[in-house]
Amino acid sequence: MDHKKSFVVPEYIIYIWLCYFFAVSLRRQNCIEMFIKRIDKSCRKTGKSYYTYRLCESYRIDNKVRHRTILNLGKLENIRKEDFKLLCDRIEQKVKGINPLFSNTPEEVEKETEFIYRRILNEKLLDCTVAPAPAAKVEEPENPDIQKVDVNSINFEDSRTFGGEWLSKQMLDSCGLSGFLSENIRNEALEKWIEVEIISRMIHPSSELETSRWIENESSLCEILSLQKPPDHHK
């Protein structure tokens, strides 16, 4: 008699897929995103082809994704294509009034970000969060316990993002997903690897190689989850 072999999917694979779709559904709630779109054109007189770029945003209405052009950017000759995502992220931060204390943004990207942000602000293309004007300084007597520091003399090494990772971890705990993994997997190391995959998809959705680079060089996710080393996506 022929016995057919049945293939059983391991439980932890099912958990990973469930957690992945959970992370995707959470990310879709923050549905407005900026991106740069290439527009191919041609001159009617000469027939010569050329292209320009547009700053666009995607948003969701009634479970349908729609796109809207915010601004024409020209050719962006000073910005590399691999920095387009970084440029969009910095523009979003400026529009929302978010100014990171430390930034590794290349100088060309930062200059272009400021130029585009000023256009958006002056032409009132988006609702921007403008920082309030600083209040007039009141002279106070010098305190010997307070010393002034030149911020341009500060050097920092191995700076990592923390807030988004910590908030995502708190959200997993509060919604019961961490408890669900603990009750069903009962493997602390595997639980943490799954949480790493979920949080990385929520904050920095990218390829496996880019995710490994982000976790190893830019994120404090492993420190938050008490992991000794980031997951190896090459295996």
Residue 234, classified by CB atoms within 10 Å of its CB into exposed (0-12), middle (13-18) or buried (19+), is: exposed
What span, in angstroms and rounded, lies between the C-alpha atoms of 186 and 194?
12
Domain ranges of the chain: 31-130, 159-235
Q: What's the pLDDT at 54? A: 92
Q: What is the rounded CA–CA span in Å between residue 35 and residue 56?
A: 5
Task: Report percent pLDDT > 90 for the chain.
Answer: 10
Contact 233, 212 (CB under 8 A): yes
pLDDT at 145: 77
pLDDT grade for 229, boundaries at 50, 70 and 90:
low
Under the banding of pLDDT at 50, 70 and 90, the label for residue 31 is very low
Tell which wins on pLDDT, 228 or 170.
170
> Any alpha helices (H) in 96-141, and if so which ranges?
107-122
- Coil vs helix vs strand at 33: strand
Among 62-66, 120-124, 209-213, the minimum mean pLDDT is found in 62-66
Half-sphere exposure of 56 (CA within 13 A, CB side): 15
Q: Report yes or no on whether pTM surpasses 0.75.
A: no
Average pLDDT, the chain: 79
Burial code of 109-125, b = ≥16 C-beta within 10 A, e = fewer? beebbeebbeebeeeee
Indicate if the pLDDT at residue 100 is higher than 90: no
- Least Cα distance to 109 among 136, 129, 135, 91 occurs for 91
Helix (H, G, I), strand (E, B) or coil at 12: helix
Residue type, 27: R
Q: What is the pLDDT of residues 106-121, one digit of tens each?
A: 889 999 999 999 998 8
pLDDT of residue 112: 93
Residue 85 has pLDDT above 70, yes or no: yes
Is residue 128 scored above 90 in pLDDT? Answer: no
Q: How confident is the model at residue 84 (pLDDT cuts 50, 70, 90)?
A: very high
Going by C-alpha positions, the residue among 4, 23, 55 that lies closest to residue 168 is 23
Alpha carbon 100 to its chain's center:
13
Q: How many CB atoms lie within 10 A of CB 164?
A: 15
Question: Are 15 and 191 contacting, i.e. CB atoms less than 8 angstroms apart?
Answer: no
d(CA 162, CA 165): 5
pLDDT at 132: 57
Under 8 Å between Cβ of 111 and 77? no
* Mean pLDDT, range 38-59, rounded to an integer: 87
* 138-142: average pLDDT: 67
Model confidence band, residue 55 (pLDDT cutoffs 50, 70, 90): very high
- Interacting residues of 193 by C-beta distance below 8 A, sequence separation 6+: 231
The stretch 52-65 carries a mean pLDDT of: 84
